[in-house]
Structure 1
Amino acid sequence: MADPVALYDEADKLKAAGDLDGAAAKFEEAIAADETYALAHSALAVVQQKLGAHDKAIEHAKRVCELEPNDAFSYTALSVTFQRAYAGTGDTSYIALAEEAMATSRTIEAGG
C-alpha cells in the first residue's frame, strides 16, 4: 500500500514547483491511500482553488471539517474557500456559506 505521507510530500514539492495539476494528482493519491488524511484534503482544497475548481475545493475543505469537527481553523479555512469561490465566480450564495463557516469557527474557539 502506498504511503500517504510520502505521497503528500511529493505533492507538496510539485505544488512548490508550480505544477498544480501534478500536485492535485498526488494529493488525490495520498487521499486514496488514506481517506481520513485531513492534511491532504486541506492541501488539495488549496490547489483545486488555485486551479479554479471551486466545487472540488469546497468538497475537500468540507471533508476536513468532517474529519476534524472540533478544529476552529478547519472552519476558518472552509470560510476562506467559500470566499475565494465567490471571488472566482461572483456567486453571492458563497457569502452566506463563508459567514456560517466563520461563525462555527468562532463558536469552537469560544469553547462550544
Structure 2
Amino acid sequence: MASVDELYGEAEKLKDAGEYEACVAKLEEAITADANHVLSRLAMAVVLAKLNRHEEAIQHGEHACAVDPSDWFNFTALSQTYVKALVATNNLVYKDKAEEAMARGQMLQQGG
C-alpha cells in the first residue's frame, strides 16, 4: 500500500497533467489514509476550486488551517480559496472571509 506522501505525489502529477477528477480521487485516498495530511487538504482545495466545487474546497482549506493553525501559508492558501469562490459566485461573504484569512496569514508570517 502506498504511503500518504506517495499518494500525494501521484495526485500532484495528475493535477499538473490537468486530470482533476483523477487527482481528486487520489487525494481522497490520501485523506482517507491520514485525515490531517495538510498538503493533501490544501491540494484538494485547489483542485476542487478548479472544478467549481467551492464549498468543498473551502472545507478542505479550513481543515488544513485547523490542523496547523500556526502556519501562515495555510491561511494564505485559504484566502485564495475564498477569493476563487467569490469570483465564481459573487457571494460577498467570501470577500470578508478571504480578508480575514489573509490578515491571519500575514500576522502569523510576521511572528504574531
Runs of 4+ displaced beyond 6 Å: none
In structure 1, the residue corresponding to 2:80 is in which secondary structure? helix
Q: Percent identity?
A: 45
The residue aligned with 2:76 is: 76
Aligned length: 112
Aligned pair 1:32/2:12, yes or no?
Answer: no
- Which residue identity lines up with residue 101 of structure 2 in the other structure? A
Q: Which runs of 5+ in 2 are unaligned?
A: none
The residue aligned with 2:8 is: 8
TM-score of the superposed pair, with normalisation by structure 2: 0.94
- Which residue identity lines up with residue 98 of structure 2 in the other structure? A
In structure 1, the residue corresponding to 2:18 is in which secondary structure? coil
Partners of 1:24 and 1:47 within 8 A in 2: yes
- Which residue identity lines up with residue 20 of structure 1 in the other structure? Y
- Which residue identity lines up with residue 110 of structure 2 in the other structure? A
> What are the Cα deviations for residues 5-44 of structure 1, in whole angstroms up to 9, with x where unaligned?
1111111111122110000010010010011110000101
The residue aligned with 1:110 is: 110
The residue aligned with 1:89 is: 89
Q: Distance in 1 between matches of 2:104 and 2:48?
A: 23
RMSD in angstroms over aligned alpha carbons? 1.1
Q: Distance in 1 between matches of 2:9 and 2:105?
A: 28
- Which residue identity lines up with residue 67 of structure 2 in the other structure? L
Q: Distance in 2 between matches of 1:25 and 1:96?
A: 31
Q: Which runs of 5+ in 1 are unaligned?
A: none
The residue aligned with 1:41 is: 41
